[in-house]
A and B are shown apart, each in its own frame.
Chain A
Amino acid sequence: MTEPGATTETSPVRLREPANLVCPRARWMWLVEGIVQALLLGGVQVAWWLLDRRGPRDPHVLVAGVTGIVMLAYVVGMPLWRFRVHRWEVTPTAVYTQTGWISQERRIAPLSRVQTVDLTRGPVAQLLRLATVRVTTASAAGHLVVHGLDRDDATALVERLTVAAAAERGDAT
């Protein structure tokens, strides 16, 4: 830091990716989620087919074809892409996550500002022995989420974060 009053000059920094990949089974979880979304869209398509009895079939075929190709690419590509992006790391002082696929997001929060640690398991995650860890801070916009961790890893992570958060005094604002 320079003398008071001057704009602080900074040196170039490149953040590296967080160290740990999520559990490889997370790909299957995202695949199932993608299939469910594709099926919902397919259901809409079928309903449209059944309701619209009079009109020509061409628009139906066209829309179904486009949706089918896009959803196929989504269902196959999204889990693989996500798996390459989603990463996490916990050090003695900070939590660091990277999420997303088309839009990507990196979040860093000091452990001293952690307020609550949640562990959630959806139905698909339970079948795959996966869990999602959600870390909240005193900021309503400052939560970090690690998707698709192995259940045992997640439990260990929650324990570690809880201990760290409890050691901190004050209201962490």
Chain B
Amino acid sequence: MSDGIPPILGGDQQWRRLDARMLLVHPVQEAVRFFPALLVVFFSGRSSGRSGWWEWALLAGVIVLGMSRWFTTRYRIWGGQIELRRGLLNRRLLTTPADRVRTVDVTAPVWHRLLGLAKVEIGTAGGGVLAERIVLDALAAPVAARLRGELLHRVAAQTEQDVEHGSVGGSASESWIDSASESASESTPEQLLVQLDPSWVRYAPLTTSGLVSAAAIWGFGAQYLDEFGDLQDRVEGAVDRVATLGVGVAVVAGLVGALVLVSLLAVTGYLLTYWGFRLTRHTGGTLHTRRGLLTTRATSLEEKRIRGVEIGQPLGLRLASAGRLSAVTTGLGREGAQHGSAWLTPPAPRSVIEATAVAVIGDPVAVSGPLVSHGPAARRRRFTRALVPTAVLCAATVWLSRVVDLPPVLMLVGCVPVLLAPFLAADRYAALGHALTPRHLVVQAGSLSRRRDLLARDGVIGVTIRESFFQRRAGVVTLTATTAAGRQRYAAIDLPFERANAVATVVLGDIVGQFADSPGRADPSAGRASR
């Protein structure tokens, strides 16, 4: 990196402010945050006909509040610590050791991009899911990129030192300068793993993202619909006009319209989120993703912290033989997971997903190899669990229709699920499976949202074997591998009891073996037939 910016990590111990251009961004952000309140105040002031000076005073207050955030926020990166101080009335100091940095996100929403700014979010190890990430909102874009590079290269350099000296910390301040000069001279060679193919946008309508955004827009709009009475009238007028064409036409028109609208939303969302998606691997031992049309987001994941991958195949994507891939990693926290920091691909063809998964975890058998199915008891349980509730629902609607007068449509609605249940159960059983490879534990389950989880065996930090009353009678258990990464728990449901114990013994070795009745008794018949 020869961009003429002085190294940040080797800097002085001065507290720094965020970039001064944030004085323009913060007030806008605050105004957006208080937008509903401002809207209500303005409209109520308009309708009651009062003079509007105090509305402007409120707006000014919001702007001052926004600007105060710049004056009250300082950070410094010095002596092996990242420190962030913020708050006006409620002052807080967030501190984290720089060698615990695991992930660094650089995001640039539209406002930031116009002004050449970028937000840096730093995820650290050992904090668990509730850990607060350190957010520097925002720095000049080149400074943010620089900081990201330095933090992650420092991590790589530091861990090598740990191996040599067997200690953490200590000589922290000297190594700042080393790593800084090192990264400055490095030309950051990178290997491209995935790049967005624009034709993948065809998968967008198959995900639920369009429905979700439609619901969000409707929910948001409904709150303010009262304010726009004439719009509501116009919508109702349109509905009436369509309704005069007859109920059948109206329903079909409504369905087609909704389908088109939801698909458009999904495509728009896909483009906004994944535009320019690139996944690259750097020699420093990190994976970088970069994506976004208006808001750009760049994420770096330390490969040493990746404990596996999840291959998600919701029904729509599965029918189009597509899926999506995300990483199982520590140090993202709940916020990071919500913002999609762990995504490794957009919804993409299955071949791309599998190739990427192999490139990331290097275990082709775990990615696409056969799974051990869970046997007849698990199959029976899938059917009872699908059929019993739906049959009860159907019986209840039939009984109700005898007692009170129910429209026949309602009876149809009550009894259709029981007809679909066997297909769901069969598909759920087909999905159910697990496998052990030398390096990974693989579990797969689900029909509507099928997921294949590949968890590194050395990332498993505990095993839970749970049996409900009905499971005990069927002789099956749910085996959960707990981990510090990703969802924290990955479960293989309805495993035969002995098989679960065997899997636990393989995953945790002697830790479990010492509690076995007869450790090490060899019997090849136990490995059940692979599908």
Contacts and interface: CB of A to CB of B under 8 A. Distances in A.
30 contacts: A5-B364, A5-B438, A6-B365, A7-B370, A7-B435, A7-B436, A7-B530, A8-B506, A11-B524, A12-B498, A12-B521, A13-B505, A13-B512, A13-B518, A13-B519, A14-B498, A14-B501, A14-B516, A18-B515, A93-B510, A94-B515, A96-B515, A107-B463, A107-B464, A107-B465, A109-B482, A110-B508, A139-B488, A141-B480, A172-B484
Contact of A11 (B468, B480, B517, B523): B523
Interface stretch (B18-26, B122-130, B243-251, B351-359): B122-130
Determine the interface band of chain A, counting residues with CB < 8 A from chain B: 35 or more
Nearest to B467: A104
A113 B438 contact: no
Interface in B501-531: 501-506, 508, 510-524, 526-527, 530
Given A12-B502, A173-B125, A107 B512 contact: no
Interface of B: 100, 125-126, 128-130, 305, 330, 364-365, 369-370, 372, 435-438, 459, 461-469, 472, 480, 482-485, 488-489, 498-499, 501-506, 508, 510-524, 526-527, 530
A15 interface: yes
A89 B483 CA distance: 21
Interface in A1-56: 1-2, 4-16, 18
Nearest to B100: A171
Given A4-B438, A16-B517, A93-B511, 11 more contacts: A5-B365, A8-B506, A11-B502, A11-B522, A108-B462, A109-B461, A110-B461, A110-B511, A139-B461, A142-B488, A173-B459
A141 B489 contact: yes
Contact of A171 (B126, B504, B524): B126
Contact of B511 (A7, A18, A108, A144): A108
Given A7-B369, A171-B125, A15 B508 contact: no
> Max chain B CB contacts within 10 Å: which of A1, A107, A140, A173?
A173
B127 to A, nearest CB: 10
Interface in A125-140: 137-140
A142 B461 contact: yes
A19 to B, nearest CB: 9
Contact of A108 (B126, B506, B508, B526): B508
A163 interface: no
Nearest to A92: B514
A138 B522 contact: no
A172 B461 contact: yes
B370 A103 contact: no
Contact of A139 (B370, B483, B515): B483
A105 B466 contact: yes
Contacts of B372: 7
Interface of A: 1-2, 4-16, 18, 89, 91, 93-94, 96, 102-110, 113, 137-142, 144, 171-173
B444 to A, nearest CB: 14
Nearest to B480: A141
B102 to A, nearest CB: 9
Contacts of A93: 510-511, 514
Contacts of B488: 139-142
A103 B504 contact: no
Contact of B515 (A89, A105, A138, A172): A89
B502 A139 contact: no
Given A10-B502, A94-B514, A142-B461, A1 B438 contact: yes
A137 B462 contact: yes
A46 B501 CA distance: 48
Given A6-B365, A10-B526, A108-B508, A139 B482 contact: yes
